[in-house]
Chains A and B, each alone.
Chain A
Amino acid sequence: MNVKMATRNLNFYYGDFKALSDITLDFQEHRATALIGPSGCGKSTFLRCLNRMNDLIHNTRITGEITLDNEPIYGSRIDFVALRRRVGMVFQKPNPFPKSIFENIAYGLKVNGIKNKTLLANKVEESLKQAALWAEVKDRLSESALGLSGGQQQRLCIARALAVEPDVVLMDEPASALDPIATQKIEELIHELKKDYTIIIVTHNMQQAARVSDTTAFFYMGVLIEVGDTDTLFTRPQKQQTEDYITGRFG
């Protein structure tokens, strides 16, 4: 199994506060890895380190190493716009642009210099199909994305992330604002997307982590407590802290 992304001895600070401590973790290609842990454990901070979203936050500091295909992603010469094209992100709340459905998908491609209309149309269709949204929107591509339901908007955001052909898709609680049916669609989608992408998902919903991921990493107070195959971690975790958390005996 190929390691797509990896972190080595990663530390992250918000000012004086150390939010992540010595995280060393591999992400296998074409697998979904779930990051779980209580609020404030550092899992979202960790996720945002992976495509340098934390660069946008003032007064933060990072040490250690993160690699994508064995190449470091931090360093003064790294083009982080290119990085974010390769490591896409889907957020908790669907955040479509206030534009048409078509334009939402085409936007990233245009920014990347694609102008050919046929190519754009093909790419939009392909992305919407991958995100399992095509059938529902193919007759209303020019309508505003804001008219879609929450679940559809979230799949649109996934399609938007996929359009620029990333290697890795980061998902931060992608289904927590959705109803059970929309959630199920997103979960099924993750299963499909694994074939072409490497998925890293932060979730508060432990059953969701168990259902969608191959690997689960448990974070607590900025420390990676345990990482392992999801089926093993949820039937016989090795660490007491993991067991206490997933069985709800925590604090």
Chain B
Amino acid sequence: MKKHLQTELEQIKKNILELGAMTEDRLQKAITAVYETNRELAREIIKTDYEIDNLEVEIEEECLKIIALHQPVAIDLRLLAVTIKINNDLERMADEAVNIAHRVKALAESGMVDKNEFYYDYMPMGKKVRNMVKKSLNAFVNEDARAAKDVLVADDVVDILRSEIYDILRERGDTQTIRDTGYLLNMFLISRHLERIADHATNIAEEVIYMVEGEIVRHTDIGAIDETVSKNNEE
């Protein structure tokens, strides 16, 4: 019976990693779509989002079934609680990738991208966000609280980048005649969507810390989290 539980937990882990890989793929495509103002790629992201939605529902149902049938405790319970939350985070990340795809379509349709002085290169921010997502998922797989903590630190950098983008775009809007406000808004909103994805990666990292350490570090400052992680590592 307990062996049965372990097999089911392994399967859940596999499924959540598959969802993670799919989400990473959508994020990568979204970043590329922004870079190339690639309307086709944007359409593909929007069109295939249902795959992620379906898998998310499947994983949640699977988790609830295991809880009902096995009444897991300790690490098994923490794993399932965390999986349900990460599942939700990944699905929301993919939704943000869809949002970015909508922005790309709007930008492309405006026909202003190539010549516009309001263009912002999102590649560096995109890479940082993608890295956070990858790291948070790796931390989950390796049950590595320290690696998870690195993700929390990286989130602050992304937040700073988003503020910078706001300033840059606003400055350009101030100094030059805005010919298309919609264009400018779409260009800015991409930073907002990327930042939200980073927030979800941060959530995943916090959930990994809970899974490994058994302590909820949400709403805690990074210094205190540092203490938690190193204290438990010393033991």
Contacts and interface: CB of A to CB of B under 8 A. Distances in A.
B222 to A, nearest CB: 22
Contacts of A235: 73-74, 77-78, 214
A227 to B, nearest CB: 16
A8 B77 CA distance: 34
Interface string A210-251: 100000000000000000000000111100001100111100
B5 interface: yes
Contact of B71 (A207, A243, A249): A207
Nearest to B2: A248
A77 B97 CA distance: 79
A234 B2 contact: no
A237 B6 CA distance: 18
Given A235-B214, A236-B214, A248 B74 contact: no
Interface residues of A, number: 13
Given A235-B78, A235-B214, A236-B78, A247 B71 contact: no
B73 A206 contact: yes
Contacts of A237: 74
B71 A248 contact: no
B75 to A, nearest CB: 6
B76 interface: yes
Contacts of B173: none
Interface string B60-99: 0000000000011111111000000000000000000000
A247 B76 CA distance: 7
B73 A246 contact: yes
B68 to A, nearest CB: 13
26 contacts: A206-B73, A207-B71, A234-B73, A234-B74, A234-B77, A235-B73, A235-B77, A235-B78, A235-B214, A236-B78, A236-B213, A236-B215, A237-B74, A242-B74, A243-B74, A243-B75, A246-B73, A246-B74, A247-B2, A247-B72, A247-B73, A247-B74, A247-B75, A247-B76, A248-B2, A248-B5
Interface of A: 206-207, 210, 234-237, 242-243, 246-249
